[in-house]
Chains A and B, each alone.
Chain A
Amino acid sequence: MASVEAVFREEHGRLLAALVRRFGDLDLAEEVASEAIEAALARWPVDGVPPKPGAWLMTTARRRAVDRLRRDQAFAARLAVLRVEAERAEPAPAADVDGGLPDERLQLFFTCAHPALAAEDRGALMLRCLAGLSTPEVARAFLVPAETMAKRITRAKKKIRAARIPFRAPGADELPGRLPGVLQVVYSIFTEGYAASSGPRLQRLDLAEEAIRLGRILRRLLPAEREVAGLLALMLLVHARRDARSGPDGEMVLLADQDRGRWDRAMIEEGRDLVTVALTGAPPGPYGVQAAIAALHDEAAGLDTTDWPQIVALYDVLLALAPSPIVTLNRAVAVAMRDGPEAGLALLDELADEPRLRGYHPYPAARADLLSRLGRFSEAAVAYREALELAGTEPERAYLRRRLDAIEE
């Protein structure tokens, strides 16, 4: 049963996208897509799976939609106007010859990640519409009450309908401007799942895996976009370390102390192949470079055999592509590994007045680490305490407390 549901979750996004395209209304599409899937769950075990399951679902959903429109003439008239206007903007695609469903999920990706929607709603909508998660599942993933999540999704859908955010993939000329926004939403789902910003658990595996799933769909839809490959590579190469990242009691284990034997080799392999794609053919984008950095960590047997000069060089590339104080911070830590803690600390101290690092606990934590490696324990203790006050998750705080206790002895 669980596997049947997994199949439907995969099929759901495809079906939904095709219905949105056909009827121009997300609510109607969601309603009849769920009805079609319910019908399939009832019928297929009895009648057998039809030869073209996707087409069966689409036909069933379309019939339900037509019934619904017959019952509600005013709604039908409004949708008809929508359709005419949509045609004005973009002619309908040619019908698929072999009866299979054309994959129209790309349009839906761009709708869900539209910059006119609230940033916090984009990820939720993407999980709902493209990953096929139910609203309570999305709510659990983001650790908010189901009611709150339902309101947020309703608000976002209302804006899509009322402001008429189009279901349209950008043309080749707009793609470079719009694609980073889509990738950002997928990556924010990943990071949200990977390092929960608050609460007792360090990792929420489900969200990270959903983000990877979305990344895989996007990669199939946009095979020529190297940053899509880069993003998927980055997620795989980081997620490959999931089992080693926390100890038996959920405590945080830093890269330096991780049991590298527990890293997922198959996932690293897949990620490395994608890094090659991401870095070949033209200057790399920020996701490709970050993936390359993750790959260097994943390939090393330990910290002392990690290629730190290469990592510092990649951070230099990343800084040129997407300057940010957080990248500068990470580069300083890599420099400390290459040239010693003194050199890293000097770079970190240059960031002392950076407003965007105020309240960012990895900054004092990194300083504390370098200070303690230099034997400057009282300064390190001050920095650890500062980091402790800022850290969001309990495992992070526990880790910092252990470090603080160790240097105070």
Chain B
Amino acid sequence: MKYMLLIYAGAADENGGADEGLFEDWMAYDKEVKDAGIFVSGESLADLVTATTVRVDPDGERTVTDGPFAETRELLGGFYVIDVPDLDAALDWAARCPGARGSGAMVVRPVADFGV
């Protein structure tokens, strides 16, 4: 069963970059996930100042705006998708992620399964 682990930082710097903890910790975690054979995909996102929002209104008109900016307290900094047997296993992997520590938090969401 696939779960997405969303990595939220509790605090951001002036560029909207996540307070990410030690680089070595992230490298070690990434290696553990891949060595365990559960890694499906995962990315780390660039600073929020680089983000752009797109909306399309009912007439098909496109609106492009800069941002959003890090006024929200929780900032999505990246994600993993892992394939594990059940929620307990997914929660264990989320708890081991450096993103779960300090002011950060992990949100674990099952990937929807439409049909077999």
Residues of A near any B CB (own CB < 8 A): 74, 77-78, 81, 85-86, 88-89, 114, 116, 162-166, 168
Are B86 and A166 touching (Cβ within 8 A)? yes
Name which of B1, B87, B110, B115 has the most chain A CB atoms within 10 A of its CB.
Answer: B87
Within the complex, the shortest CB–CB distance from A85 to chain B, in Å, comes to 5
Look across to chain B and name the residue whose beta carbon is closest to the beta carbon of A85. Answer: B85
Number of CB contacts from chain A to chain B under 8 A: 35
Task: Let me know if B88 and A166 touch, CB within 8 A.
Answer: yes
Contact A74 B116 (CB under 8 A): yes
Do B85 and A163 touch across chains, with their CB atoms under 8 A apart?
A: no
How many interface residues does chain B have, given as a range? 10 to 19
Enumerate B58-116 residues with CB–CB distance to A below 8 Å: 85-89, 91, 108, 110, 115-116
Give chain B residues whose Cβ lies under 8 Å from the Cβ of A165.
86-88
Is there an interface contact between B116 and A88, defined as CB atoms closer than 8 Å? Answer: no
Q: Tell me if B91 and A86 are in contact (CB < 8 A).
A: no
Q: Which of B1, B88, B91 contacts A85 (CB 8 A)?
A: B1
User: In the bound complex, how far is the Cα of B87 from the Cα of A401, in angstroms?
Assistant: 51
B91–A88 CB distance below 8 A: no
Q: Is the interface of A mostly helix, strand, loop or mixed?
A: helix
Can you list 5 A-B contacts (CB < 8 A)? A86-B86, A89-B89, A114-B87, A164-B86, A166-B88
Chain B nearest CB: distance from A318 CB in Å?
29
- Residue of B87, B115, B116 touching A166 (CB-CB under 8 A): B87
Beyond known contacts A74-B116, A85-B1: 15 more, CB 8 A cutoff: A78-B116, A81-B116, A85-B86, A88-B85, A89-B86, A89-B89, A116-B87, A116-B91, A162-B110, A164-B86, A164-B87, A165-B87, A165-B88, A166-B88, A168-B86
Residues of A within 8 A of B88 (CB): 165-166, 168
5 closest Cβ pairs, A-B complex: A89-B85, A166-B86, A164-B86, A85-B85, A165-B87
**Residues B85 and A86 in contact, CB atoms below 8 Å apart:** yes
CB nearest to B91 among chain A residues: A116
Residues of chain B lying within 8 A (CB to CB) of residue A164: 1, 85-87, 110
B116: chain A residues within 8 A (beta carbon)? 74, 77-78, 81
**Smallest CB–CB gap between B53 and chain A, Å?**
29
The interface residues of chain B lying within 8 Å CB-to-CB of A168 are: 86, 88
B23 to chain A, nearest CB (A): 30
Q: A74-B116, A85-B1 are in contact. Are A163 and B89 (CB under 8 A)?
A: no
> Which residues of A sit under 8 angstroms from B108, Cβ to Cβ?
163
A84 — nearest CB in chain B belongs to which residue? B85
